[in-house]
Structure 1
Amino acid sequence: MKRKFLFAIIGALLLHILYFTAQLLIGLVQTFFYKPQFAPDTVVLQSEMTFGFVNQGSPILLLGSYIGVAILIFGVLSLKKKGVSSID
């Protein structure tokens, strides 16, 4: 029971790290390949460069999603039968 709970917490942490890393890399690639498109009469240049995303919600949502994913992983691990091997 403790082992499944520990695996669920670690799995949720790894999934969240993977998600935020992917968001950062996508923003970085978009920034690297950015080509401004100017209208014919526009000469204003962009003065800021941003990448990533802006979290508009409450910080409690991050904690809630972490706990929710951990509970979901724990539930999946609990459904798995102990000691049963599919290889005969």
Structure 2
Amino acid sequence: MKRKILFAFIGALLLHILYFAAQLLIGLIQTYFYKPQFAPDPVVLQSEVAFGLVNQGSAIYLLGSYIGVALLLFAILSLKKKGVNNID
């Protein structure tokens, strides 16, 4: 039981790290291939580059999503049938 909870929290942590790494990679790719669009008239252009995803929510949402994913992974691991070599 403790082992499944530990695996669920580690799995949730790895999924969150993977999600934020993917957001960072997407931001890096968008920044690398950014080409500004120039207007034909002489206006002052602002160049803004979006980097990643801005989360406008509270930090509680991150904690809630982490706990929610951990509980979901624990439920999935609990549904796994116990085999002959499964020692819990």
TM-score category by the smaller chain? 0.7 to 0.9
> Which 4+ runs in 1 deviate beyond 3 A?
45-50
Q: How many residues in Structure 1 have an aligned counterpart in Structure 2?
A: 85
TM-score (norm 2): 0.87
Report the RMSD for the aligned CA atoms in angstroms: 1.7
Residue 76 of structure 1 corresponds to 76
For structure 2, list consecutive stretches of 5 or more residues without a partner in the other structure. Answer: none
With over 3 angstroms needed to count, the CA separation of the structure-2 counterparts of 1:76 and 1:21, relative to structure 1, is same
Q: Distance in 2 between matches of 1:84 and 1:78?
A: 16
Supply the distance in 2 between the matched residues of 1:60 and 1:22 (Cα, whole angstroms): 21
Percent of counterpart pairs with the same letter? 81
5+ residue gaps, structure 1: none
Cα gap change, 1:42 to 1:56, in 2 (>3 Å) = farther
